[in-house]
């Protein structure tokens, strides 16, 4: 991965399941030219792998902090991700 690109694992908590959060996340990521995935977790959170230009990743994290209109985000946690895990497109999994 080049110096101007990064990959992060994100965990979003709050009212984030049952509010089209995954579809909204995929649409926002595609608009920003990002790759990765998003999925619901058993604990009620949403997890995502987001990769691409640093500025676009930062913009996506800001959007995740707000979420779609029906969501209520209480926290967004990020950690670096290994480049080997990154898909070539952005998809909804799980």
- Catalytic residue set: 22, 40
Inter-axis angle of helices 21-31 and 54-66, nearest 10 = 150
Runs of H (alpha helix) within the chain: 21-31, 54-66
Torsion of CA 55, 16, 79, 56, to 10 degrees: -10
């Amino acid at each position: 991965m080049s110096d101007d690109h990064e990959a992060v694992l994100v965990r979003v908590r709050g009212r984030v399941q049952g509010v089209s959060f995954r579809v909204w996340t995929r649409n926002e990521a595609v608009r920003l030219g990002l790759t990765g995935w998003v999925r619901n977790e058993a604990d009620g959170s949403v997890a995502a792998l987001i990769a691409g230009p640093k500025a676009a990743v930062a913009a996506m994290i800001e959007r995740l902090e707000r979420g779609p209109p029906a969501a209520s985000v209480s926290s967004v946690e990020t950690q670096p991700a290994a480049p080997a895990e990154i898909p070539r497109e952005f998809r909804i999994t799980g």
